Structure 1
Amino acid sequence: MAVTDLPTASAAPPSALPWVAPFAAFLLWLLVWPYVPLDELRVELLRLGLLAMVLLTVSRGIVASLRVTRWLSSLTVGLLVAGLWLLPGLLWPGYREQRLFQNGITGDTVSALPDSWLASPLLLSLRIARATLLVPLVEEIFWRGFLPRWVLRNNWDAVPMGSYNLLAFAATAVLFAAQHGPYWDVALMCGLIFNWYMWTTRSLGDLVLAHVATNAALAAYAVATKQYVFWL
């Protein structure tokens, strides 16, 4: 995981806005959407539109540059991560109810989706689309495309994609886990796997595809079992 042959730093650091803006918009919406005075359909359409707009304007160069070269291995890694995410709860009923996972810091495993959403095929379809198409782009651009390189060097844009040292590898995984609240344990494990895959492939496009496969599998499981707590 050592970083070698990195270019020398330039005078001014590059702009992080295209790499950070989608994730910042995603987090901001999580904070404000319960207070938006619109019905559920308009709220979801507004959220989808906001994320898509940021991705296709501020971050359009990053999105346009994504290439997938390892279709089979990326899909396999994504499905493996989804399986690991589900495994503890399948093996040990009540596992997620421990205070180690549900407490004042991590929150509770309670779905944020109103019952009216679950009864609407259209709203459910929009929620699945967001989870499988937009969230992987938003998260991977930040977590694997930007943050490890920013940790490594002020002139992070000169750092090759997929470069890590121990601090960057661990910090990215830990912060990724913290974002997922009561699922922090499996998120940490999955973050480590995604970091390893990024280090191995040096391809942000393949990481996005792996994340798409993970979220699609989890969405399918949530809908099939009606366990919507995976959509916190």
Structure 2
Amino acid sequence: MPVTELPESTAARPSALPWIAPFAVFMVWMAVWPFIELAQPWEEVLRLGVLALVLLTVSRRVVFSLRVSHFVPSVLLGLAVFALWVLPEQLWPGYRSHWLFQNAITGETVSTIPDAWLSDPTMLALRITRAALLVPLLEEIFWRGFLPRWVVSNDWSRVPMGTYNTLAFVGTALLFASEHGPYWDVGLMCGIVYNWYMAKTRSLGDLVLVHAVTNGALSVFVLMTRQYAFWM
């Protein structure tokens, strides 16, 4: 019996799972974790372990292929985006309390960090690890590595990293903003900056570094100023 061969374009098309799975697991966990009756720090350890496992197994080829080509500019941009994130509240007290940012759709600027965590170095270390190491990886792999290319073409793997497309650029920035709830305005600006830098450098590794610096600096800022609402 003759063997039926798939067309080359279909047979050679890689799976999108490594690019989607870590972010999908992260979002599902965010939705269900309030209902998980597991004492801390074990819930946070389990969460970090699951996310790390998905990144290092399902997405290992993507993760280990990342390279940073513009270290200093990426670090500086990450710090600039951090400043962009926190400045509105520092310049205009009460800015975030406007109904545009706190409503039934966007939610409220209330920290999800229990008070007991704030005096527990272990819990704070775990929270910073998630924010500065895991989240930049899983978000950038999806938001800048996969989704814009998929918008450009269903055969997304043949679309070069950083390819500019108006719909992909605007659409991913808007969706990225929606992920950040009451901080949608700075989330939108952040998404635009990240998308611009991706188009400029075409380096997913640099985007992960930028995001990691932003989140790391924000974590330090939160601990120094005790403005825990930034840790939603």
Q: Deviations over 1:37-95 (max 9, x none)?
A: 11120000001001000000000000000001111000011000000001111110000
Matched residue, 1:156? 156
| Residues 23, 138 of structure 1: 8 Å contact kept | yes
Unaligned runs of 5+ in 2: 1-7
AA of the residue aligned to 1:47: R
2:70 paired residue number: 70
Q: How many residues align?
A: 224
Partner residue of 1:229? 229
Given that residues 14 and 155 in structure 1 are in contact (C-alpha distance below 8 angstroms), is that contact kept between their aligned partners in structure 2?
no
Q: CA RMSD in A?
A: 1.0
Partner residue, 1:90? 90
Larger radius of gyration: 2
Q: Give the Cα separation in 2 of the matches to 1:134 and 1:44.
A: 13
- Show CA shifts across 1:119-152 (max 9, x none): 2111011101110010000100000000000000
Counterpart position of 1:139: 139
- Counterpart amino acid of 1:50? V
Percent sequence identity over matched residues?
A: 62
Partner of 1:79: 79
- 3-state SS of the aligned residue for 2:32? helix
- Confirm or deny that 1:52 pairs with 2:47: no
Cα distance in structure 2, aligned partners of 1:231 and 1:40:
17
- Counterparts of 2:206 and 2:17 in 1: how far apart (Å)? 22
Q: Which has the higher contact order (CA 8 A, sep 6+)?
A: 1
8 Å Cα contact 1:111/1:228 also seen in 2? yes
Q: Which residue of 2 aligns with 1:126?
A: 126
Asked whether the 8 Å contact 1:177–1:185 carries over to 2, the reply is yes
Gaps of 5+ in 1: 1-8
Is the CA contact 1:149–1:164 (under 8 Å) kept in the aligned structure 2?
no
Name 1:11's counterpart in structure 2: 10
1:198 matched to which residue of 2?
198
Partner Cα distance (1:227, 1:78) in 2 = 20
* Residue 160 of structure 1, CA deviation: 0.2
Give deviations 1:148-197, integer Å, cap 9, x for gaps.
Answer: 00000010000000112100000010000000000000000010000000
